[in-house]
Amino acid sequence: MPVHNADIAAIFDEIADLLEIAGDNPFRIRAYRNAARTLRDLGHEVSSMLERGENLTALPGIGEDLAAKIQEIVETGTTPLLGKLRKKVPPTLTELLHLPGLGPKRVRTLYHELDVHTLEQLHRAALDGRIRTLPGFGEKTERQILQAIEARARLGGRCKLAVAAQYADALVAYLKQAPGVKHAVVAGSYRRAKETVGDLDILVTARPESPVIDRLVAYNEVAEVTAKGETRASVRLASGLQVDLRVVPEDSYGAALHYFTGSKAHNIAIRELGQHRGLKINEYGVFKGNRRIAGESEESVFRAVGLPFIPPELRENRGEIEAAQAGTLPKLVELSDLRGDLHAHTKATDGRNSLREMALAARERGFEYLAITEHSKHVTVAHGLDVPRLLAQIDEIDRLNAQLSGMTLLKGIEVDILEDGRLDLPDDVLGRLDLVIGAVHSRLHLPRSKQTERILRAMDRPYFHILAHPTGRLIQEREPYDVDIPRIIRQARQRGCFLELNAHPERMDLLDTYCQLAKEEGVLISINSDAHSVVDFDNLRFGVGQARRGWLEKDDVLNTRPLHILRALLRGCRRS
């Protein structure tokens, strides 16, 4: 059975979690976490690298020991170290680590004092009021744990879009090799670029004699076949992801693609438009009585109800139909519109590539510019820069820019916003930079009014350009901090600064609805990768998908501007 990067990363994450609960060496734990991140962000499969005989130690953060373990996992599906750790520490404890506020020390306490080692047991202990009695917990922590468990339950079995993409891309490529297959596409929430995916809805057009159903069932990652017929099948992959395959005739392809892409609310609204015209619309086509009048393409379905084509990312029944009727649908931003990336890290803090390596990788992707924005000194875990180290990096960037051709490195910082709204570095140093990205990394549980005022005060500082990952959420791991985002957006408009859409698959922050609100207020959004290695630039495609869900056009995005216009906009943010 093939082993994907996401599978290896999951094993390394579990090893790191178990080591952390056991109180192992922090450097060893960090090595596994960094390796997991490298693999998860890698744009190609390490299994293919091994087949070609490539040396895995060329990858950032992968030494001889980790390379050997990756090879073990690719060959056997696991590594003996994981088995040893599971015997020492109940593996279910790792789920608890992913809840906000539960670090390894607290998890150990819950395990030893209350015999809690599953989410269900933790939930019961919180409901019974037993957690608040433990040293270092209290009633507030118990309430936060309950809220986190309930939030996790609402997500169900959904996985992050970027993880689903690893399985979807490989499976679609496999199905396209079946004789007689013309189209094979993933529909559903995946096609609408939602940040999490419940399952994969794959639509195929093929000749009647095509063995595509049998080919899916025979796929070597299938763990269970739950349904199989002549035109449809459902399977569960070894990763736990469910796949539903439907085979449709060519003349129904557009209708089926529209139907299975959704959303349900959008489809209902389209069917209602059809009914007003005496039409019946379903996955088989558009019918006038018993006569099919459209359905071979999605364009034909929309045309039948008097609408232009509506991009999949907009199909949430949040005004896209009215905009289509009025002729005001946005021309959504494309990945190719981005001229550069305004949030990236190097080895100077917690990145995994050098300044030169990041610059050359950016140039290879056709970027006109790349902003280097290391963490500031308050983020000690990331070895954040103090003033002397930042000044040294400024000089290093100047020297490298003198040698580069075809792209420019911008001097920046991801500076921490402190609890009182001050920035983590002095204004006279920030004033020497091309851009300053302000970020909240601590005190995430402040009350809404205090959290909001904290950010507003930071945005009023003389040198503040972009608010990074504005809600602070980590998908499926940490809820957004409580902050008044509409008020933040209005402040950005008045102040003349910008908001980030952080494209890292664990963040996808700003939310699509807030992107739309920022657009309405005239606040530009910067789609940034938050790259910690050269491969992380690939994440920009997920950020663009989120931006498209937020109705953003090219002109709504800050980093679609050429460098000279970008510089002018950044200079316009500065206050005396």
Confidence at 520, pLDDT banded by 50, 70, 90:
very high
Per-residue pLDDT, 526 = 98
Tens digits of per-residue pLDDT, 178-188? 999 999 999 99
Q: What is the pTM of this model?
A: 0.81
Residue 540 pLDDT exceeds 60: yes
* Helices (H), ranges, 99-192: 104-114, 119-127, 138-155, 161-175, 188-191
Residue 576 pLDDT exceeds 60: no
Percent of the chain with pLDDT over 90: 68
Residue 155 pLDDT exceeds 80: no
Reference 434, options 563, 571, 338, 576; nearest CA is: 571
Tell me the two tokens of residue 270.
């389209």
Tens digits of per-residue pLDDT, 359-397? 999 999 999 999 999 999 998 888 899 999 999 999 999
Tens digits of per-residue pLDDT, 472-516? 998 887 788 899 999 999 999 999 999 999 999 999 999 999 999
Residue 559 pLDDT exceeds 80: yes
Tens digits of per-residue pLDDT, 203-219? 999 988 899 999 999 99
Residue 133 pLDDT exceeds 70: yes
Confidence at 154, pLDDT banded by 50, 70, 90:
low
Query: What is the rounded CA–CA span in Å between residue 273 and residue 344?
Result: 46
- Which of 128-132, 341-345, 426-430 comes out lowest in average pLDDT? 128-132
Whether 34 and 13 have beta carbons less than 8 Å apart is answered as no
Per-residue pLDDT, 311 = 98
Tens digits of per-residue pLDDT, 288-299? 999 999 999 999
Residue 168 pLDDT exceeds 60: yes
Per-residue pLDDT, 3 = 82
Q: What is the mean pLDDT of residues 216-233?
A: 92
Tens digits of per-residue pLDDT, 20-74? 888 888 889 989 988 998 888 777 889 889 989 988 988 888 999 999 999 999 9
Asked if omega into 376 is within 30° of 0 (cis), the reply is no
Tell me the two tokens of residue 512.
């699509």
Query: What is the rounded CA–CA span in Å between residue 357 and residue 351?
Result: 11
Q: For each of the domains in the chain, give its residue range(s) and CATH number, in order of start.
A: 5-154 (1.10.150.110), 159-248 (3.30.460.10), 262-326 (3.30.210.10), 335-571 (3.20.20.140)
Query: What is the rounded CA–CA span in Å between residue 341 and residue 533?
Result: 13
Query: What is the rounded CA–CA span in Å between residue 242 and residue 222?
Result: 9
Per-residue pLDDT, 295 = 95
Per-residue pLDDT, 144 = 82
Query: What is the rounded CA–CA span in Å between residue 310 and residue 273?
Result: 14
Per-residue pLDDT, 116 = 85
Per-residue pLDDT, 58 = 86
Tell me the two tokens of residue 455.
């950010």
Per-residue pLDDT, 1 = 62
Tens digits of per-residue pLDDT, 402-412? 999 999 999 99
Tens digits of per-residue pLDDT, 524-534? 999 999 999 99
**DSSP per position, 457-520:** HHHTSSS--EE-STT--BTTTBPPP---HHHHHHHHHHHT-EEEEE--TTT-BS-HHHHHHHHH
**Strand 435-439 with 408-416, pairing:** parallel
